Amino acid sequence: MTMSLKLDALDALPRTPASDVKKLGWRGVMKTIARGGKVVVTNHNTPEAVILSAEEYGAILQALDAAGAAQRSALDTLRTRFDARLAALQADDAGARLRDAMRGPARLRGKVKAGATC
């Protein structure tokens, strides 16, 4: 199951000045977070930190893990194919098979080969 994560731009998040954080205390900040899940703490109207609820943080981690799993799966598939081809090249008879292939005429099996003819 793929989880879709929508992250808002920093400018779209609710803001609270650092002075309010000091004035209201942790409980006040947590009330703001309970309403929106996250809040940007500003200092002189410049964003300094984003405080997330544990649920928001967990959702971000889960979405990142899901995205990474898809990439790891694709990479594992490529690695398996590469390893199989490399094993064929490292086989004891690889040199002999290559020489045999180069000695005889090309077998096109009904396919057209593009390029100059000799």
- Tokens representing residue 81 in the block: 């194919």
pLDDT band, very low/low/confident/very high, at 113 (cuts 50, 70, 90): low
- The predicted structure's pLDDT at residue 2: 47
pLDDT digits (tens, 9 = 90+) for 41-91: 999 989 999 999 888 899 889 888 888 887 888 888 899 999 998 998 888
DSSP line for 13-58:
S-EEEHHHHHHHHHHHHHHHHHHHSEEEEEETTEEEEEEE-HHHHH
- The predicted structure's pLDDT at residue 15: 87
Query: Which residues share a beta bridge with 41?
Result: 16, 49
pLDDT digits (tens, 9 = 90+) for 54-68: 888 998 898 888 888
Is pLDDT above 60 for 34?
yes
- The predicted structure's pLDDT at residue 1: 43
